Amino acid sequence: MNPDNDAAKSRLDGRWGLVMVIIIVAIVVVAFVISALTYSAGPEITATGKMYVSSSGEWNGTETAEYEVSLDFNDGEGMLTISLLNGNFDQVENKTLNVFSITKMGDDYNLETEAGLLQFVKYQIEDPDVFNGTAIEAYVALWSQNKKIGEINPNLFGMPESYFVAMALEER
């Protein structure tokens, strides 16, 4: 046995092991980056629904404006569009929001818009005073004085935080 040959062979084996570890780490990092970039753009989604707004801070059928909402998202970009259906006032200033990404986390959807984050939670709506008394399972975001579901700050639409805002979307 030649100690010099054994030491040289050991160093060479160690270098090959290090090279293999670096290659594996590089593959994992590249796969993660590709996955993250693809996922952050979000899926292709088309959804429609309703939005209700009340300046009283709570659901109030006589003082609540009803809006139609549509969401179209494809290839990493989209638009959330809001239009007044009926009501005595129209407080929504921002009726179109560019959507930059949609991520699904369990039963929740997060929409990153130009105005900020919207978070919709899968929710069973059975309240006879909300959404025209129709029991539906939809993706809901609600902001009121006493209850919040998901994330939908009235400021996103150009209204004060004291307003009631509820939006429900059904995927098409």
In this predicted model, what pLDDT tens digit does every residue of 14-71 receive, in sequence order?
666 665 656 666 676 555 555 555 445 557 889 999 999 999 888 876 678 999 999 9
Asked if 71 and 47 touch (Cβ cutoff 8 Å), the reply is yes
Q: Quick one: pLDDT at residue 137? A: 77
In this predicted model, what pLDDT tens digit does every residue of 48-61 receive, in sequence order?
999 999 998 888 76
The whole domain housing 59 covers: 45-171
Are both 96 and 20 inside the same structural domain? no
In this predicted model, what pLDDT tens digit does every residue of 88-137 receive, in sequence order?
789 899 999 999 999 888 889 999 999 999 999 998 777 655 556 666 67
State how far the Cα of 163 lies from the Cα of 172, in Å rounded to an integer: 29
State how far the Cα of 105 lies from the Cα of 148, in Å rounded to an integer: 18
State how far the Cα of 69 lies from the Cα of 46, in Å rounded to an integer: 11
Q: Quick one: pLDDT at residue 124? A: 79
Q: Provide the greatest CA pair distance for the chain.
A: 96
Number of domains in the chain: 2
Are both 135 and 67 inside the same structural domain? yes
Q: Quick one: pLDDT at residue 150? A: 93
Are both 15 and 87 inside the same structural domain? no
Query: The tokens 């900020």 sit on which residue?
Result: 116
